Amino acid sequence: MEHHAAFEHISDLLTLPEVVETRYQMHHSIPKHDHLTRSVRMSYHLGRLIRADIRTCVRAALIHDINSRFGTLTTHGRVAARWAAEQGEDEAVCTAIESHMYPLGPAPVSREAWVLVLADKAASLGDIKQFILGLFDGSSLANRRRLQQSDPYYRERPRRRLLHRLHVRRSHHAH
């Protein structure tokens, strides 16, 4: 478990099933949970720097990409914000989540929303760095293979490819 000061504000969220299962979901070729907790740490530091509300910043950061598969690049902020609202999160948290993809999608309207926009982008660079460093000892590719097995989104892909192939072959025979 992480001992960063930011995690005091999110201990209740870390045990939610939707957050726990991000350990088994792929995001930027690494576990989505790593991206979310990196976003939390970035938000904590940026939030302090510009004197934003830290609790709002780090709660928004942890859940900003939950259920992102149910949206597109521009709409998944709204999907995650809706989920946050259903969990009873403050409006300030939901507002910050909704605009995290700026300049794709809506523009940030609060200090905390700006923190998340910047923290998410910085965390994404950290995700890429984590993946590249892990190429040297083989851990990145092993983790990616593991995630392809555990992530339902990727598990279904080979089946889709197979169906496509079968369909092509069948239509080929018909002619």
Residues that bind Fe ion (CB under 5 A): 65, 120
Query: Do 24 and 147 meet the contact criterion of CB atoms below 8 Å apart?
Result: yes
Task: For residue 75, give the amino acid letter.
Answer: T
CB of residue 30 to Fe ion, shortest distance in Å: 12
Cβ atoms of 78 and 98 within 8 Å: the answer is yes
Minimum gap (Å) between residue 165 Cβ and Fe ion = 32
> Could you give the CA distance from residue 7 to residue 120 in angstroms, rounded to a whole number?
17
Distance of closest approach, residue 146 Cβ to Fe ion, in angstroms: 21
CA distance 122 to 44: 12
Give the nearest distance from C-beta 15 to Fe ion in angstroms. Answer: 21
Name the residue nearer to Fe ion (CB basis): 98 or 120: 120
DSSP codes joined into one string, 7-75? GGGSTTTTTSHHHHGGGGSEETTEEHHHHHHHHHHHHHHHHHHTT--HHHHHHHHHHTTTTGGGS-TTT
Residue 92 or 101: which CB sits closer to Fe ion? 101
CA torsion 52→117→62→66, rounded to 10°?
A: 140
Planar angle of CA 117, 17, 93, nearest 5 degrees = 30
Q: Which is nearer to Fe ion, 9 or 126 (CB)?
A: 126
- In this complex, which beta carbon is closest to Fe ion, that of residue 2 or of residue 159? 2
Instruction: Decide whether 53 or 120 has the Cβ nearer to Fe ion.
Output: 120
To Fe ion, the closest distance from the beta carbon of 34 in angstroms equals 11
